């Protein structure tokens, strides 16, 4: 890999790594401020408030103002976000930090991939693999790193914050040395589109990614009530890596079959980790998280992506952006609602209620895709 490509890959990893760095301490920050589970869920989801507008309005900004410029901006935003938590480790600071992190991830998501694609135009499969691997390792390892540090250092500002802050500063310095890529006169703002026939794929990924928020915030809070350790880091690592592990199998499946399998695995995984949470069986929680992860970041994720591109092959980039809008809405909104209901009805009761909705939705999706398989493909209008 060329040096500029390596630097950009490191930037993608550090930005995604820093995004989940504070997750193991969400509950602590909330308790110190006198809040319950709902504020942790809101803090987690404010990330989406920064990411979605960026993804929707500025997804193609690097074509106009330069990819290097956008990568540097993303690194600076995440660097500032990390420093804010070092300087003022409170739940209120966390709300601001999450918005900055969301903007940073929204900027790097397409820009980093585009930069690598320009450097390696004949190796699109390698580019996809590099981006998939770096983002998966980044998102899954941030909370894990802080969890590991907290096991030896009880602090509101664990040294994992300082380590990542220093690494981001170093990466900013390296990024100044990479070449800028040519810009175009394309519009700065290009809205995503979404094929109307792909609405089911959008619903499937929204339901799947809602589990990532539950695994990161809701389950660890309940396990802590039982006197069990904070497993937010290991659980996030498991749910992401399990999905990545099954991506090769998902790539070789027909899109709708992959979506059906993902819906089935999602329900099974959710049922297992909810039962494990209710009966305080940690091993069952972790098995359920792993099974759910095969759908969240494996079968449902890739099956939905393939379905959206198939239905709008003329504008794949904008269609993919629309798909991720659905994914991140699922990532952010349900965890807020579950957090709010958990404060009133208890976490286990709320998880059971959401599980009923998840079951009905996914059984319906399985039936819908079975019906669609039997119909001929027809042209589809864009929303």
pLDDT, tens digit, 9 for 90 and up, residues 272-290? 999 998 898 889 999 999 9
pLDDT band with cut points at 50, 70 and 90 for residue 120: confident
Distance of alpha carbon 140 from alpha carbon 17, whole angstroms = 7
CA 344 to chain centroid, in Å, comes to 27
Q: Are 114 and 8 in contact, with CB atoms under 8 Å apart?
A: no
Among 108, 135, 96, smallest CA distance to 244 is for 135
Q: In the numeric block, which tokens belong to residue 295?
A: 């759908």
What DSSP letter does each residue of 43-83 carry, written as one string? HHHHHHHHHHHHHHHHTTHHHHH-HHHHHHHHHHHHHHHHH
Q: Are 250 and 309 in contact, with CB atoms under 8 Å apart?
A: no
The residues, ordered by sequence, that sit 6+ positions from 345 with a Cβ below 8 Å of its Cβ are 353
- Per DSSP, the three-state class of 89 is coil
Distance of alpha carbon 347 from alpha carbon 350, whole angstroms = 5
pLDDT band with cut points at 50, 70 and 90 for residue 66: confident
So where are the chain's domains?
1-191, 195-383
Cβ count near 128 (within 10 Å):
14
What is the pLDDT, as a whole number, of residue 136?
85
pLDDT band with cut points at 50, 70 and 90 for residue 72: very high
pLDDT tens digits for 88-100?
999 999 999 999 9
Q: Do domains 1-191 and 195-383 have the same CATH topology?
A: yes
Q: Considering only residues 302 and 175, tell me which one the structure prediction assigns the higher pLDDT.
A: 175
Q: Tell me how long the chain is.
A: 383
Among 93, 115, 123, smallest CA distance to 26 is for 93
Work out whether the CA dihedral 295, 107, 54, 35 comes out positive or negative: positive
201-218 burial by CB neighbour count: b if 16+ within 10 A, else e? bbbbbbbbbbbbbbbbbb
Percentage of residues of the chain with pLDDT beyond 70? 92
Distance of alpha carbon 254 from alpha carbon 303, whole angstroms = 7
What is the pLDDT, as a whole number, of residue 289?
95
Q: Which CATH architecture has domain 1-191?
A: Up-down Bundle (1.20)
Q: Are 74 and 102 in contact, with CB atoms under 8 Å apart?
A: no
Distance of alpha carbon 230 from alpha carbon 151, whole angstroms = 10
The CATH classification number of 195-383 equals 1.20.1250.20
What is the pLDDT, as a whole number, of residue 339?
86
Q: Are 29 and 94 in contact, with CB atoms under 8 Å apart?
A: yes
Q: Are 162 and 251 in contact, with CB atoms under 8 Å apart?
A: no
């Amino acid at each position: 890999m060329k040096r500029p490509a390596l630097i950009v890959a490191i930037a993608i990893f550090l930005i995604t790594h820093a995004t989940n760095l504070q997750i193991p301490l969400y509950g602590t920050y909330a308790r110190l401020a006198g809040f319950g589970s709902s504020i942790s869920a809101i803090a987690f989801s404010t990330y989406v408030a920064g990411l979605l507008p960026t993804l929707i309005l500025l997804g193609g900004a690097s074509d106009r103002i330069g990819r290097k410029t956008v990568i540097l901006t993303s690194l600076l935003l995440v660097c500032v976000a990390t420093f804010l938590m070092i300087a003022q480790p409170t739940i209120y600071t966390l709300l601001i930090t999450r918005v900055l992190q969301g903007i940073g991830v929204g900027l790097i998501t397409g820009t980093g991939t585009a930069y690598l694609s320009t450097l390696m135009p004949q190796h699109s499969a390698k580019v996809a693999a590099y981006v998939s691997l770096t983002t998966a390792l980044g998102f899954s390892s941030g909370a894990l790193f802080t969890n590991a540090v907290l096991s030896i250092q009880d602090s509101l500002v664990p040294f994992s914050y300082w380590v990542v802050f220093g690494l981001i500063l170093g990466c900013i310095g390296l990024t100044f040395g990479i070449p800028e890529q040519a810009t175009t006169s394309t519009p700065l703002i290009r809205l995503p589109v979404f094929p109307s026939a792909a609405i089911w794929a959008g619903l499937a990924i929204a339901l799947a990614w809602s589990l990532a928020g539950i695994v990161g915030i809701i389950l660890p809070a309940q396990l802590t009530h039982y006197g069990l350790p904070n497993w937010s880091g290991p659980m996030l690592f498991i749910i992401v890596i399990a999905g990545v592990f099954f991506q090769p199998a998902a790539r070789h499946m027909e899109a709708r079959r992959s979506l059906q399998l993902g819906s089935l695995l999602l329900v099974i995984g959710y049922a297992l980790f909810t039962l494990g949470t209710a009966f305080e069986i940690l091993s069952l929680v972790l098995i359920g998280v792993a099974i759910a992860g095969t759908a969240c970041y494996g079968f449902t994720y890739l099956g939905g992506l393939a379905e959206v591109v198939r239905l709008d092959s003329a504008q794949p980039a904008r269609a993919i952006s629309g798909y991720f809008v659905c994914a991140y809405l699922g990532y952010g909104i349900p965890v807020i609602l579950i957090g709010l209901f958990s404060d009133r009805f208890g976490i286990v009761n709320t998880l059971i209620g959401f599980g009923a909705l998840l079951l009905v939705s996914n059984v319906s999706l399985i039936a819908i895709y079975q019906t669609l398989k039997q119909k001929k493909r027809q042209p589809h209008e864009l929303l």
